[in-house]
Amino acid sequence: MAETSYEALKLDHQLCFRLYSAARRVTRLYHPFLDPLGITYPQYLALLVLWEAQEPLSVGELGQRLELESNTLTPMLKKLEVAGFVERRRSAQDERVQLVSLTDAGWALRESAAHVPECLYEALGVSDEVAIALVGALDAFSGEMRSGNAGDARQERA
C-alpha cells in the first residue's frame, strides 16, 4: 500500500491560516485607535461605509458592501444606535426595508476617526510600496474569488 503524504495538511502550508492570522494581527492593531472612540473594528467598517455614502443606506446595502449577513449586521447596528452614532428607520417606500443613517454624533465621530488610517499604517511598520503592493494583491485575489474562478479550480481537482 502506498504511503500517503500529509505534507499539504501542515498548518504552515495553509493559505487560509496565513490570511486569518494576518487579518487578526491587523485587526488587533486597530484597538488602541478605536477604543478611545468607543467603537469596535466591525463598527468602524460600518461607519466607514456610511461616511462614504453620505446618505442613508438599507441594511441590505450596508451588508452587501461589508460582505456581512443581516443576522451579523443587525446586532452591531443596534449597538451603534444605542451609542448614538446611527439611527434605523423603516423606508417610506417599502416598509420591509430598514434604512441606516448617521446621527450628528456619527458625523462628528468621523472627525475623531480621521487619524485612524494614518496611525494604522504607522503601526504596521511597512513601507508605502509594500502596503500598495499588498492592497493590489488582495484586490486581485478577492476579485478572483468573487468572479467564481476559485470554485472552478476546486471543481477541476475533484
Strands 86-90 and 57-58: unpaired
Q: Is 40 inside a domain boundary?
A: yes
Q: What is the pLDDT of residue 150?
A: 64
Q: Is 101 inside a domain boundary?
A: yes
Query: Which one is predicted more confidently, 3 or 129?
Result: 129
Q: pLDDT over 70 for what percent of the chain?
A: 92
Q: Is 132 inside a domain boundary?
A: no
The confidence band for 1, taking pLDDT boundaries of 50, 70 and 90, is: low
Q: Is 137 inside a domain boundary?
A: no
The confidence band for 148, taking pLDDT boundaries of 50, 70 and 90, is: confident
Residue 53 has pLDDT above 90, yes or no: yes
Taking only the tens place, the pLDDT of each residue in 91-146 is 889 989 999 999 999 999 999 999 999 999 899 998 889 989 999 999 999 999 88
pTM for the model: 0.84
Residue 57 has pLDDT above 90, yes or no: yes
Beta bridge partners of 90: 98
Q: Is 125 inside a domain boundary?
A: no
Q: What is the pLDDT of residue 145?
A: 87
Q: Is 42 inside a domain boundary?
A: yes
Residue 157 has pLDDT above 70, yes or no: no
Span 50-68, average pLDDT: 95
Q: Which whole-number Å values give the CA distances from 4 to 9, 12, 14, 58, in the listed order?
A: 11, 19, 18, 51
- Cβ atoms of 67 and 60 within 8 Å: the answer is no
Measuring CA to CA, which residue among 46, 49, 33 is closest to residue 78? 46
Domain limits for position 70:
24-114
* Number of separate domains in the chain: 1
Instruction: Assign residue 52 the CATH number of its domain.
Output: 1.10.10.10
Q: Is 128 inside a domain boundary?
A: no
Q: Is 143 inside a domain boundary?
A: no
Return the sign of the alpha-carbon dihedral for residues 124, 127, 131, 134: negative
Residue 153 has pLDDT above 70, yes or no: no
- Cβ atoms of 50 and 85 within 8 Å: the answer is no
Rounded Cα gap, residues 105 and 120, in angstroms:
23
Q: What is the pLDDT of residue 158?
A: 46
